[in-house]
Amino acid sequence: MKNQNQDEMSPMSSLEDWDNDVLKRYPEPGKPAKSKEEYRNYDSPEIDGVREFYRLNHKYQTYDNVLAKKANFLQFDKKEMPWWSAMEYLNTLIDDSDPDTQLDQLQHLLQTAEAIRADGYPDWFILTGFIHDLGKVLCLFGEPQWNVVGDSFPVGCKFSDKIVYPEFFAANPDIHDERFNTQYGVYSHQCGLDNVHMSWGHDEYLYHLVKDYLPEPALYMIRYHSFYSQHREHAYDHLLNGHDQEMFKWVDKFNPYDLYSKSPVAPVVSELKPYYEDLIAKYLPSTVKL
């Protein structure tokens, strides 16, 4: 792929713009969608940024892109550090220009995990909430935003019209490739998601990072928490097998904590750190290779 300019690397002012857009599309049940005026104290440039983000995402998320990114990043040879240090490293993604949040990435993840903990779920579920966005470190390794966040979807088959901004797939070369532009593409009926290549991003990256350490329900939560066209619209039931359908019940359990646990009240990191360090030590190796 040709070198991209800065506009194509970062069409959104912050990764938070994508999170906020998801909340507008899927407001908390029983609550109205947040109004445009509530999101910003200035005109809403994030709307144009999100649209441009999806234009690029849908243009460049090809089957070949996914295979190339897996070959590169799944070597896990970029950086090695203790897990807590990796979570703090994620903090460098915070955007000081965003008036909607004063919390860093670590605090957001602690809010998610603490909400899960308060509801009495198993400790591996709590840990999943704590680390589920760690894959966003891809931005710190030079990846453009459209290769880090965004709704995830299968590549190698026809793009569903249930994916957000489906019209932007018109610029994706895979729609002209006979291998990839049919309902099943390179796959088969109910072949199972483990045999399907998902668009590249923080979900897929973190799944491969932790797949040898966490229970299978946790891995489904991590890998498919941005797969909205499926767990909201069931657009890819023809690829899921029975086991996938059963595991997606866990994705459904996780999703409200991911979307609705943000609060302006910052958790006290120093008080929570010992608990989460012990939880990390129970399930994960002492250092993470990113």
The answer as to whether 277 is a domain residue is yes
**CB 117 within 8 Å of CB 126:** yes
pLDDT of residue 94: 57
What does DSSP assign to residue 154?
B
- CA dist., res. 132 & res. 139, Å (int): 15
- The whole-number average pLDDT for the span 185-214 is 98
For 39, the token pair is: 């999101």
The answer as to whether 233 is a domain residue is yes
pLDDT at 9 over 80: yes
- The whole-number average pLDDT for the span 211-225 is 98
The answer as to whether 114 is a domain residue is yes
The answer as to whether 137 is a domain residue is yes
**CB 212 within 8 Å of CB 285:** no
Q: How far is CA 65 from the centre of its chain?
A: 17
pLDDT digits 0-9 by tens, 238-266: 999 999 999 999 999 999 999 999 888 88
The answer as to whether 93 is a domain residue is yes
Query: Which residues make beta-bridge pairs with 132?
Result: none
Average pLDDT across the chain, whole number: 91
From residue 15, give the alpha-carbon distance in Å to each of 94, 150, 154, 220, 233.
9, 9, 22, 22, 24
The answer as to whether 180 is a domain residue is yes
pLDDT digits 0-9 by tens, 259-289: 999 888 889 999 999 999 999 999 999 999 9
**CB 254 within 8 Å of CB 203:** no
Q: Which residue segment(s) compose the domain that 49 sits in?
A: 6-289
- The whole-number average pLDDT for the span 68-85 is 97
What does DSSP assign to residue 137?
G
Nearest one of 259, 265, 234 to 31, comparing CA atoms: 259
Nearest one of 54, 39, 22, 286 to 166, comparing CA atoms: 54
Nearest one of 53, 51, 71 to 61, comparing CA atoms: 53
The answer as to whether 1 is a domain residue is no
- CA dist., res. 112 & res. 128, Å (int): 9
The answer as to whether 125 is a domain residue is yes
Residue with tokens 């069931």: 234
Confidence band, pLDDT 50/70/90 cuts, at residue 29:
confident
pLDDT of residue 122: 98
Nearest one of 252, 160, 236, 147 to 199, comparing CA atoms: 147
Percent of the chain as helix, strand, coil, to the nearest 5: 55, 5, 40
The number of domains in the chain is: 1
- CA dist., res. 140 & res. 133, Å (int): 13
- The whole-number average pLDDT for the span 111-116 is 96
pLDDT of residue 11: 95
How many residues are given for the chain?
290
pLDDT digits 0-9 by tens, 81-105: 999 999 999 988 754 434 444 578 8
- The whole-number average pLDDT for the span 17-23 is 91
From residue 281, give the alpha-carbon distance in Å to each of 195, 248, 274.
31, 27, 11
**CB 177 within 8 Å of CB 224:** no
Confidence band, pLDDT 50/70/90 cuts, at residue 33:
low
pTM, two decimal places? 0.91
